[in-house]
C-alpha cells in the first residue's frame, strides 16, 4: 500500500527556516522521483522542486532558488525540503508526489500524492 506522510510544516516567522519531510512507503525512492508542490490562494499547485530517482534535484520555482534544498534518506524512505529565509509568499499547502524516475513540473504527471502540509509565514 502506498503511503505519503508529510510533516514539518507550521508557523514560522519571516526569515526563518523549515524542513518539510515526506515519508513514503510501498515503493522505493530509487525508482521514483519525488516532487514538492505548493498550493496557495494565488496559485494552484505550483511546482517547487523535485528530486530525481538518481538523487539529483531540480528547482522549478524561481522565487525559492537559492533558498531551498532537497535531500533524501533512503534508509528512512524520506525526502526532505529544507527552506530558509522564508517569506510570506512561501506560505501555502505543500504536497509531495511521486512519478517514475524523472521529474516533470506538471502536477498531472505525478500519480500519487500526500495529504499536504500547511506552511504559514507570519510575524
Phi/psi of residue 36, each to 5°? -110, 135
pLDDT over 90 at 46, yes or no:
yes
Query: In 3D, which of 40, 21, 22 has the Cα closest to residue 110?
Result: 22
What pLDDT sits at residue 41? Answer: 86
CA 74 vs CA 53, 84, 106: distances in Å = 11, 23, 25
pLDDT (average), residues 106-118: 96
Spacing of C-alpha 105 from chain mean position: 12
C-alpha–C-alpha distance, residues 10 and 24, integer Å: 20
pLDDT class of 44 with cuts at 50, 70, 90? confident
pLDDT tens digits, 61-101: 999 999 999 999 999 999 999 999 999 999 999 999 999 99
pLDDT (average), residues 4-14: 96
Amino acid at each position: 500500500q502506498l503511503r505519503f506522510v508529510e510533516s514539518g510544516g507550521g508557523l514560522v516567522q519571516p526569515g526563518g527556516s523549515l524542513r518539510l519531510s515526506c515519508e513514503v512507503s510501498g515503493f522505493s525512492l530509487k525508482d521514483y522521483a519525488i516532487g514538492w508542490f505548493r498550493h496557495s490562494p494565488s496559485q494552484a499547485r505550483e511546482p517547487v522542486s523535485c528530486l530525481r530517482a538518481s538523487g539529483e534535484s531540480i528547482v522549478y520555482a524561481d522565487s525559492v532558488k537559492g533558498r531551498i534544498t532537497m535531500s533524501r534518506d533512503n534508509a528512512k524512505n524520506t525526502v526532505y525540503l529544507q527552506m530558509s529565509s522564508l517569506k510570506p509568499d512561501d506560505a501555502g499547502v505543500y504536497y509531495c508526489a511521486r512519478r517514475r524516475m524523472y521529474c516533470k513540473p506538471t502536477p498531472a504527471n505525478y500519480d500519487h500524492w500526500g495529504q499536504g502540509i500547511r506552511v504559514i509565514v507570519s510575524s
